[in-house]
Amino acid sequence: MTTDDPSFSPPSFVPFERLCLIGLGLIGSSLGHATRRAGAAREIIGVDRHQPNGQKALEIGFIDTLAPDLETAVTGADLVILATPVGAFDAIGKAIGPHLSPGAIVSDVGSVKGVALDVLTPHLPAHIHLLPAHPVAGTENSGPEAGFASLFDGRWSILTPPEGSDPDALSRLTAFWEQLGATVEIMTAAHHDLVLAITSHIPHLIAYNIVGTAADLETVTKSEVIKFSAGGFRDFTRIAASDPDMWRDIFLSNKDAVLEMLGRFSEDLSVLQRAIRDGDGATLHDLFSRTRAIRREIIEAGQDAAAADFGRRPPSRADDSKF
């Protein structure tokens, strides 16, 4: 855990008695697997509004019990984690509020934290500790079969406790995430939403956008785009394959920060556009040299491997027959 408070010292870990997972998709299922691996909860109850997801979760075995409804799911749980799109938080908060056990921690894994506080706070009784969280981890896959225990290993989990949060509850949730393999960082919800707008939300938006632009061209066929995607486009399609429900909700719930960052991105892009039009190679070269240094810092910080493209399976020659 990193924090500015020098008096903070995490206690030795006390597992939760009963973890309730609301939403059993990629993150919910990974939470189940990782909690089991760590022994971080004695019991895991799951609930999902899609019945087949719940059945699949039981089959795979990352929950002990499938609850028939939200009320039953949260009853007796000392840790409740919402792992659904942010758009469902209001209805879920309303449904679970009256049934939460005294002193329970309610958290989430949403990518926007201001809205988690805004939407959930009115529904929760005073005896509940609302401690929003955002594990910066994921893949472009969805559903209960997409999860795995190591998803959070070495990743950041950002906690955004509201002012005046209970330090013991915060310590317990911090210890939980550390047991799951993550490194915890604490910041305000507002700052989180600004940081993630530039490191995650805008990259997703422009990846979605360019893949859409390419698909709509008349002069270049879609099959040509797919064939020659190795030139750079391919990396964007990976990002642009992320869950549509989740990302719609992210953009709508982090509107201000996203529009602010998008404005800056567009301004900067206009400068490049002008430089290309004017044949101003120095402006281009200057930017391209600066960005290369940032890549080096990310590799040095251990956030990615230096190896170029080696992680990827080379395309099968046999597939060429399709073209």
Gap between the Cα atoms of 239 and 204, Å rounded: 6
Nearer to its own copies, 50 or 227 (CB): 227
Site for its own copies in 50-79 (CB under 8 A): none
Stretch that binds its own copies, among 7-15, 63-71, 136-144, 167-175 (CB under 8 A): 136-144
Least separation in angstroms between residue 181's CB and its own copies is 9
Which tokens go with 147?
């999860």
> For strand 65-66 and strand 79-82, is the pairing parallel, antiparallel, or unpaired?
unpaired
204 binds its own copies (CB under 8 A): yes
Stretch that binds its own copies, among 4-12, 54-62, 102-110, 314-322 (CB under 8 A): 314-322
Please report the DSSP string for 181-248 in residue order: T-EEEE--HHHHHHHHIIIIIHHHHHHHHHHHHHHT-SSS-HHHHHHTGGGTHHHHHHHTTS-HHHHH
Q: 3-state DSSP helix/strand/coil percent for the chain, to nearest 5?
A: 50, 10, 35
Q: Which of 105, 141, 169, 170 binds its own copies (CB under 8 A)?
A: 141
CA dihedral angle for residue 299, residue 305, residue 308, residue 310, rounded to 10 degrees: 180
Site for its own copies in 217-256 (CB under 8 A): 217, 219-220, 222, 224-242, 244-245, 247-249, 251-252, 255
Q: Which of 17, 59, 166, 304 binds its own copies (CB under 8 A)?
A: 304
9 binds its own copies (CB under 8 A): no
47, β-bridge pairs:
22
Nearer to its own copies, 79 or 214 (CB): 214
298 binds its own copies (CB under 8 A): yes
Gap between the Cα atoms of 128 and 106, Å rounded: 7
Overall residue count recorded for the chain in this entry: 323
Site for its own copies in 170-199 (CB under 8 A): 183, 185, 194-196, 198-199
6 binds its own copies (CB under 8 A): no
215 binds its own copies (CB under 8 A): yes
Stretch that binds its own copies, among 53-61, 68-76, 163-171, 208-216 (CB under 8 A): 208-216
Site for its own copies in 254-283 (CB under 8 A): 255, 258-259, 261-262, 264-266, 268-269, 272-273, 276-277, 279, 281
Nearer to its own copies, 104 or 250 (CB): 250
97 binds its own copies (CB under 8 A): no
200 binds its own copies (CB under 8 A): yes
Stretch that binds its own copies, among 12-20, 39-47, 95-103, 139-147 (CB under 8 A): 139-147
Phi-psi region of 11 (alpha: psi -120 to 50; beta: other; left: phi over 0): beta
Gap between the Cα atoms of 35 and 176, Å rounded: 8
Sheet containing 41-47: give its strands across.
65-66, 41-47, 16-22, 79-82, 105-108, 129-130
